[in-house]
Amino acid sequence: MAESPTPMTAEDLKAWIAGTIQDSVDHIDDEVSPVRASAFRYYLGAPFSDSGDSPAEEDGRSQVVSREVHDAVHSMLPSLMRVFFSHDKSCEFIPRGPEDVAGAAQATELVSWYLEQSNAYSVFADAIKDCLIKGEGIIKVWHETQYDIQTRELQGLDELQIGLFVQEGYEVTSSEELEDAPGLYSVVLTKRTPRGKIRLECLPPEEFLINRTATSLDDAKIVAHRQLLRVGDLVELGYPYETIIEYKGYEDDFRSNEEWNLRHPNWREEDDTDSDPSNRLVQYVESFVRVDADGDGVPELRRICTIGNAHEIIMNEPVDSHPFLLIRKDPLQHTWRGMSLYDELADIQRIKSAVMRNMLDSLSLSTRPRISYLESAVDWEDLANDEVGALIPMRQAGAIQMLEMPFVGAAAFPLLQYLDQVKETRTGISKASQGLDAEHLQSTTSIAVSATQKAAQARLELIARNIAESGFKPLYKRLLQLTLLHMDQPTVMRLRGEFVQVDPQSFADYDVLITLPLGRGSEEERRQALLGLLEKQEMLIAQYGPMNPIVGPEQYYQTLQRLFADQGLGAEAGSYLRPPQQMQALLQQQMQQVIAQQNEEPKPSPEEMLAQAEIQRKQLEVAQRAEEMKREDDRKRDEMEAELFLKLKELSFKYQQPIDASPLLDALTRNRELERVDQVRQQQLYEQQFQAPQPPPGQMPA
């Protein structure tokens, strides 16, 4: 019957974690660290006898050591650092939908700001150098909560006053009632204030533990960080002092590690016995293990922290991911290890050192040959005197003879050149590829020189791509996860020179895209391509206007910004360019101001007010004169009508005949209406003579 899984007891888990840690310690200390320590010695140019390699140094012979590993590392390192840190951001988050566009852009700016404010440059410089020398560089990214401890000793406090301090977050560490003042106490108060931040650190390779059968960090049974911490450091991390002090001091776990001994050549045993207990060292291992502790048959990822050589568990909690990044320049397939420059150049360094030693020995023998002499005819003290022009007394002629040795080292120069060619083939680095070989540049066509440089650049870009995929890409993902986990409130931050509100809770689990210019030609070729694109965009905008369907201000701004970024001036782009969104907001504001000004009635000047008053006075005079003329005309017409009516009555009475006066009265009335219309027209013409002339459209009044 198959055995069913059962939950682990505390003792079972302690025994399992202790065995797993010890097995990974044996793997690192016995199998991995000796090779990496030898690589570091080759980088330092230490004698080969320190590593147990040949050619061993001999007394009285040349002991020069060629520095092939050192030279190759420092030839690659500047170019790699320029690739990663000459741009604003190495990666950016890609939205998974239209609703994620703004959040992805803000998340990219936030993570880039984290890296700018942190020690990312020094961390990656150390990690890349470890990767080139030893094959692997390990970076740890995590959120750490430390506690600022404030202690106050007060006397003469009553219980109410002590309670007020407790409400403010203080804890009563000790309390003693005063003998001469009952009800009052002498107390020691302690306040622990949490302070959390995201940390970035390059781990010494010997401090990183992994199980021997792991092929990557994701499938490893255990990945751990072992270190020596002071008791006080662990107390700052939140562990009780009483628990930590029991495990002060440690045995030889680190003493047997060659890398640790190489990094601490001046260590003394007295360093482990400090009289201050808070400065005593404790072995602390932070392990991320996959273990089925609950007995459901599925191993879960847990963070288990242990102290001491017995690996006593002081922390056990489930987690979603581990904090480690593994950087490799040339990953070895199906294993977590990587190839280093030591692996490629160790034999070249040994061979060149042996050849150079023999050449120098030959040169030394040819310039300072050995001497044979008769002991009875020459005193040793006179012969050993190396002063120029010193006399050597001889009691017999021919008592001294020079054993002439010709210099034969010149025959080894072709061998050294061959070894340099082998080195160039393995690493892709040469003076010609770096533009430093004057003879090569003068005797070779520009096309051949460009091909040589591009071949070396392709090799370097492959290394940079491996580092970006294993380091920067998971780093951006990890920083976003920590931000979502620990930054739960919106905050105002200064991004790109502007204060904006950042709410990480609106972010999503975005994809990461590497934006480094890898495999896109040389910097000069990219610059010329962008300048050509700018010229085409300017032509289209000039011909079809800024709102044409092909290119607009937004695309033109993006091209300029990319040109600035490729030249390492991305952070300064805001000093020279204004984003189109800001320009649109400014134009809208100006349009609103123009509309508001047009809606407001302009206030006339004093001269205009005086002219208008004069016009109104003239108009009033004309109106009064017209009214008087109208009344006078009406009066005269009334008199004429009355006189005509009387005459018609007289004629009718005289001739005894009725006379119809209606046609005459209608004619008089019609003539009166025509005259009134003519008077109104003349009055309008008269008023126009007093009106101010109007300026043409678009011209201000004089």
Q: What pLDDT digit, counting tens, does each position of 179-211 carry?
A: 888 888 888 988 888 877 888 999 999 999 999
What is the average per-residue pLDDT within 19-29?
94
Q: What is the pLDDT of residue 443?
A: 47
Residue 480 CA to residue 508 CA, distance in Å, equals 9
What is the average per-residue pLDDT within 641-649?
73
pLDDT digits 0-9 by tens, 573-603: 556 666 666 666 666 776 677 777 666 656 6
Q: How far is CA 293 from CA 7, 13, 201, in A?
A: 6, 7, 30
Residue 56 CA to residue 72 CA, distance in Å, equals 23
Q: Which residue is listed with tokens 């300064």?
A: 572
DSSP string, 224-248: EEEEEEEHHHHHHTT--HHHHGGG-
Task: Check pLDDT > 90 for residue 327.
Answer: yes
Nearest to 143 by CA among 488, 468, 470, 467: 488
Residue 185 gets which letter from DSSP?
E
Q: What is the pLDDT of residue 699?
A: 47
Residue 689 CA to residue 615 CA, distance in Å, equals 9
Q: What average pLDDT is seen over the chain?
A: 81
What is the average per-residue pLDDT within 419-442?
68
Contacts of 243 by beta carbon, 8 Å cutoff, 6+ apart: 314
pLDDT digits 0-9 by tens, 89-119: 778 888 888 888 888 888 888 888 888 878 8
Q: How far is CA 126 from CA 121, 136, 138, 478, in A?
A: 9, 11, 9, 20
E strand map for 496-572: 498-502, 511-514
Could you tell me how far CA 604 lies from the centroid of its own chain? Answer: 59
Q: Angle 393-395-399 (CA atoms, 0-180°, nearest 5)?
A: 85
At residue 292, what is the residue type? D
List 175's β-bridge partners, or say none: 187
Task: Check pLDDT > 70 for residue 473.
Answer: yes
The dihedral sign for the CA sequence 125, 128, 132, 138: positive
| Phi, psi (degrees; rounded to nearest 5) at 517 | -75, 70
Q: Global pTM?
A: 0.71
pLDDT digits 0-9 by tens, 503-558: 777 788 788 888 776 655 566 777 778 788 888 888 888 887 777 778 877 777 77
Q: pLDDT confidence of 436, banded at 50, 70, 90?
A: very low
Residue 221 CA to residue 336 CA, distance in Å, equals 13
Residue percentage of the chain with pLDDT more than 70? 79
Structure tokens at 428: 């892709």
At residue 349, what is the residue type? Q
DSSP string, 146-182: EEEEEEEEEEEE-HHHHHHHHHTTEEEEEEEE-SSST
Structure tokens at 74: 């420092």
Nearest to 467 by CA among 59, 17, 119, 83: 83
